[in-house]
Structure 1
């Protein structure tokens, strides 16, 4: 029997196969070699079921039925990718071991965990944990496969995040919609973000501009000229600034105190996804999604950057 390698996306699966099984037979949904069969998940093949999967009464939105809190969450296949899920199940029957080669992060863990749960995969699982898709990294990663149990807490964190999204989204959206008699979407992330945007817009609308005045002096010592600024409370009246300037104009300055110290300036940290998106937006006007799509392509197809969804600023 062979070992089944499950990657997160087709490009990633083909890249792994090129290293581990360069002579693999190429099928549309998997590649098969002497020791390994490589297939992929195409992102999320499964998701949490809608409320009416637990009880038909939830098809109607009724505030009296809230909150909806399942004792155990049900998962359902994505109709668009159910054939790929079925193929993974068929391939698993021919294998006595599995390698989880999904992205090295929380969502990669969750994607694999749902597949394992839905298909009731009982084979022992090893984890491929790599941050880039170069041939060297893939080969080294397979030499150092880790036990899947090491990442159980990460899987639980991903599952908790997904179920929290469901609980807040399904219950709060129904509560606000039925209460206000208009369709309102509420979410764990989107609602606080909208609140921040709303509050900031209110601050902008309420902002009243005010003119401040600075007092600058030019100094000269041994043919060296330099400028200095008056330090104190902000000056809101021009006569206050003029009064300070008139007091010192043409007079000799005296240095009463100075400090010297050595400092170290460290290089910038590497990009994480958030910083990359922020800078790409500022420089090129890219949306967050466009930056992610470009970074993902540079990672998967061109192999020139490391895993883009990490929040780490360091290489392993």
Structure 2
């Protein structure tokens, strides 16, 4: 494949970096990523699928753009780079077990795979045990780094004001862990959520509600709006799908999310333009996806180290 453009992915705290050639696959996704560069993001690691790095990319378009070239990511070469509707930039660096269809945009060259594997090991330690955040910087090859968080706008003044507040809060927590999640993971739970004083149960439920709220609910609302669903059913679905998880998360300590959700519900009937609805839901998606990334990083995965897969029967 012809390499059209190159990006650099650096982990400054590790002193490691790799390059990736964008090779023309899923051009719309690659162009959306390219246009958003440079940026920085908390680096994450797959917890179920295997040898896979991913982070939330501040690219609103990833939530809804369609990738035509879809592959089983288990079968592609190590070093393959993907963009996904989960708003992720992902990189395969070894064996994967999850049979997930994915949309590749490029590949890291073979002579840089050892560096990629080293980064993968360091990030796994960060997520699983040390909890020391590792930031990834993604930039155009040969150009300066930096960071910016895109802001969409709405014609309606109320919607635009809420978007502005969401944008500021997302920017505030993009590279710094939200105080509410830090408190929760340290056992400071004002509501006393967690039966008989337990904490792990609450953390599990918070993780289980946050990820689908961003990935599926808000991302799905953006896609449904752009695919032509009328505003009235969209408003009904938005209220029905977001109220219960957001209220529960507020009970568990995510007061800011619950406050944003209440504001959203109070003003939904004002929105009479699909473009305004899309902009607002896209910012809710990015905010919740950011919360989800931090929750995955802070979660004490190492407490389950004694729980291991059974060996296959012989």
- When normalised by structure 2's length, the TM-score is 0.24
In terms of fraction of residues, the more helix-rich structure is 2
Highest RCO, 1 vs 2 (Cα 8 Å, sep ≥ 6):
2
Which TM-score applies when normalising by structure 1? 0.24
